C-alpha cells in the first residue's frame, strides 16, 4: 500500500487534483479539509462562535463525521457536502483547524482511514503530522492571487455568491492562521517535493503528481 500526502495553503487546488489522481491510480481519496469544514458547519449551526476554542472543543462528543463514496460528507447523518463550501464556513474553518483537541479528534479518524488501502490525503499537515511516514509527500503551492482566482471561479460555478476581493481577503487570513497556529502549523515536510502550480492547469498538475508517484513506484497502474 502507498500513502501520498499532499499539503499546501488554502485554495492551492489540492483537493481537485488529488481526487483525479486517486481515480486514475485506483487509490482512496481522503479529503481531510472537508472534515474540518464539517466540524465548522456544526459549530455554526449550533450558534457557537468559531473563535471561542473552549466552546468549539466542547462540541466534540456531539460530532460524527463520515466520508462516503463520490466525495459525499455527512455530519451526524446530514449531507453537508454543499453546505461546507459556503463562504461562512470558509471564513471560519481555519479557527477550527487550529484547535489542538479538534485536530487530535479528527487526525485519529484520518489515520484509521489510511490503514487499509493506498491513499491520497490532502490537507495542511498530512506529511508533517497526520502521515509522517507517507511514502510520497508533496507540498503544493500557488500565489495568493492565483489561489483566490481559482476559489472565486469555483464558487461562482457552484452558484455560491461572493466577490473576488472577499475571497482574496479570506485566503490571506487563512494563510496567517494556518501558518501561525501553535499546534501542527502549515509547513512543508523536510522530505516533501515542492510543486508550484501558479502557472499550471489542472491536467498539468495531475500529470506532474502521477509522474512523481510512478517514478518512485513503477509498478503503479494508471486507469484511464
DSSP one-letter code for 161: -
DSSP one-letter code for 90: H
> Does the residue 125 lie in any domain?
yes
> Does the residue 24 lie in any domain?
yes
Task: Report the C-alpha gap between 114 and 136 in whole angstroms.
Answer: 14
Q: Could you count the other beta carbons within 10 Å of the beta carbon of residue 117?
A: 13
Task: Report the C-alpha gap between 162 and 159 in whole angstroms.
Answer: 9
Q: What is the pLDDT of residue 179?
A: 92
- Is residue 57 classed as helix, strand or coil in its secondary structure? helix
> Does the residue 222 lie in any domain?
no
This model's pTM is above 0.85: no
Q: What is the pLDDT of residues 101-120, one digit of tens each?
A: 999 999 998 898 888 889 99
Positions of the chain with pLDDT under 50: none
> Does the residue 150 lie in any domain?
yes
Q: What is the pLDDT of residue 68?
A: 83
Domain that holds residue 72: 3-215
Q: What is the CATH number of the domain that holds 130?
A: 3.40.50.300
Q: What is the pLDDT of residue 4?
A: 97
H helices then E strands: how many in the chain? 9, 8
Q: What is the pLDDT of residue 158?
A: 87
If one counts the domains in the chain, the total is: 1
> Does the residue 110 lie in any domain?
yes
Q: What is the pLDDT of residue 173?
A: 93
Query: To which H or E segment does residue 5 belong?
Result: strand 3-7
> Does the residue 162 lie in any domain?
yes
Residues 36/106, Cβ–Cβ less than 8 Å: yes
> Does the residue 221 lie in any domain?
no
Q: What is the pLDDT of residue 71?
A: 79
Amino acid at each position: 500500500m502507498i500513502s501520498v500526502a499532499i499539503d499546501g495553503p488554502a485554495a492551492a487546488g489540492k483537493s481537485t487534483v488529488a481526487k483525479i489522481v486517486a481515480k486514475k491510480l485506483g487509490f482512496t481519496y481522503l479529503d481531510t479539509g472537508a472534515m474540518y469544514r464539517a466540524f465548522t458547519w456544526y459549530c455554526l449551526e449550533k450558534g457557537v462562535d468559531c473563535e471561542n476554542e473552549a466552546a468549539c472543543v466542547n462540541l466534540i462528543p456531539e460530532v460524527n463525521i463520515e466520508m462516503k463514496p463520490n466525495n459525499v460528507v455527512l455530519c451526524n447523518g446530514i449531507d453537508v457536502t454543499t453546505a461546507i463550501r459556503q463562504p461562512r464556513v470558509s471564513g471560519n474553518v481555519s479557527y477550527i483547524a487550529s484547535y489542538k483537541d479538534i485536530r487530535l479528534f479528527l487526525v485519529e479518524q484520518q489515520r484509521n482511514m489510511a490503514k487499509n488501502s493506498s491513499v491520497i490525503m490532502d490537507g495542511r499537515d498530512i506529511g508533517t503530522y497526520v502521515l509522517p511516514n507517507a511514502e510520497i509527500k508533496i507540498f503544493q503551492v500557488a500565489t495568493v492571487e492565483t489561489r483566490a482566482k481559482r476559489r472565486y471561479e469555483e464558487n461562482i460555478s457552484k452558484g455560491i455568491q461572493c466577490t473576488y476581493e472577499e475571497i482574496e481577503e479570506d485566503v490571506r487570513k487563512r494563510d496567517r492562521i494556518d501558518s501561525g497556529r501553535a499546534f501542527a502549523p502549515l509547513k512543508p515536510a523536510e522530505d516533501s517535493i515542492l510543486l508550484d502550480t501558479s502557472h499550471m492547469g489542472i491536467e498539468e498538475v495531475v500529470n506532474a503528481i502521477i509522474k512523481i508517484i510512478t517514478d518512485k513506484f513503477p509498478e503503479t497502474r494508471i486507469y484511464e
